[in-house]
Amino acid sequence: MTPSRFAVFGHPVAHSLSPRIHAAFGRQLGIALEYVAIDAEPSQFAQALAQFAARGGQGANVTLPLKEDAHALAASRSERAVRAGAVNTLVRREDGWFGDNTDGAGLVRDLTERHGLDLRGRRVLLLGAGGAARGVAPALLDAGVRDMVIVNRSPARADALADALGEPGRAYTRYWEDLHELGDFELIVNATAAGRQEEGAFVLPLSLVDSLTAAVDLNYGEAAIGFLAWARAAQCRDVIDGLGMLVEQAAEAFELWHGTRPRTEEIYADLRAHGRVLVGED
């Protein structure tokens, strides 16, 4: 039997743990599949995706910086992908690619089920307004957070995300330079890629933290070191990287493709135990 073909697209993408995760899911459930990483710059993404489809590709994950491009290329989209304005999962259908976004569901499942956090009533600071932030913002609002302040170094992108969410009383923007004036938050989510690019990228005001603050980085491995180091120094109550979210969003995508949901705790524990957490945000 010829294995079904899947891939993860990104730039860079060599770091991605997705091929390892989906191979483990396939073995767990006895499903034969081929899953590879394909590096594509934004200008090359449409062509690379078309070539993948022509070779029999049936589904794809999409990571930085291509999630908003994937949204534009999808012939149809789920409601959560429309709300996010970003796509991280593609399913091949007769009329073209169907786009979904499993990031938010993966994050909420990781925080509530694996880490035992109750998100209801929390004041949230979301750092970043790109594809990663777009993927998780709607799910956090649906999970019952009280309000969400979106801060991005490009204010226009933050405003665009807040407008797309359509809840002006709960989701609104502030300037990065004004972080010290925003008060404290029970949840701080880093959805930026700053940790990839510069040492000491996160020197944030300690006034953002209170006795209940959970600090969450959507990145994992080396890309999360800067933010997580700040969170520990600030004595945040919970300090969480993006590995659990990565595994949970992958399980959501796997279920879309194969109609059955894999168990996630086995692969999550394996990645932690064997130090296979490299660098990135899928």
Q: Which residues make up each annotated binding site for shikimate?
A: 16-18, 63, 88, 103, 220, 249
- Cα angle for residues 159, 73, 91 (degrees, 5° grid): 110
One fold for 4-102+244-280 and 104-241: yes
First to last CA, the chain: 29
Q: What's the token pair of residue 256?
A: 């879309």
- Catalytic positions, written as ranges: 67
pLDDT of residue 131: 93
According to CATH, the topology of domain 104-241 is Rossmann fold (3.40.50)
pLDDT of residue 279: 43
Confirm if 2 and 31 have CB atoms less than 8 A apart.
Answer: no
Distance, CA of 122 to CA of 187 (rounded, Å): 7
pLDDT in tens, the chain (282 residues): 678 999 999 999 998 999 999 999 999 999 999 999 999 999 999 999 999 999 999 999 999 899 999 999 999 999 999 999 999 999 999 999 999 999 999 999 999 999 999 999 999 999 999 999 999 999 999 999 999 999 999 999 999 999 999 999 999 999 999 999 999 999 999 999 875 545 545 789 999 999 999 999 999 988 899 999 999 999 999 999 999 999 999 999 999 999 999 999 999 999 998 754 444 455
Count of beta carbons in the 10 Å neighbourhood of residue 60: 29
- Cα angle for residues 61, 131, 103 (degrees, 5° grid): 55
Q: Which residues make up each annotated binding site for NADP(+)?
A: 79, 128-132, 218, 242
Q: Phi, psi at residue 98, to the nearest 5°?
A: -95, 125
pTM: 0.93
**Superfamily of segment(s) 4-102+244-280:** Leucine Dehydrogenase, chain A, domain 1 (3.40.50.10860)
Q: Which residues make up each annotated binding site?
A: 16-18, 63, 79, 88, 103, 128-132, 218, 220, 242, 249
Q: What's the token pair of residue 12?
A: 């860079």
pLDDT of residue 1: 63
Distance, CA of 18 to CA of 243 (rounded, Å): 11
**Domain residue ranges of the chain, discontinuous segments joined by +:** 4-102+244-280, 104-241
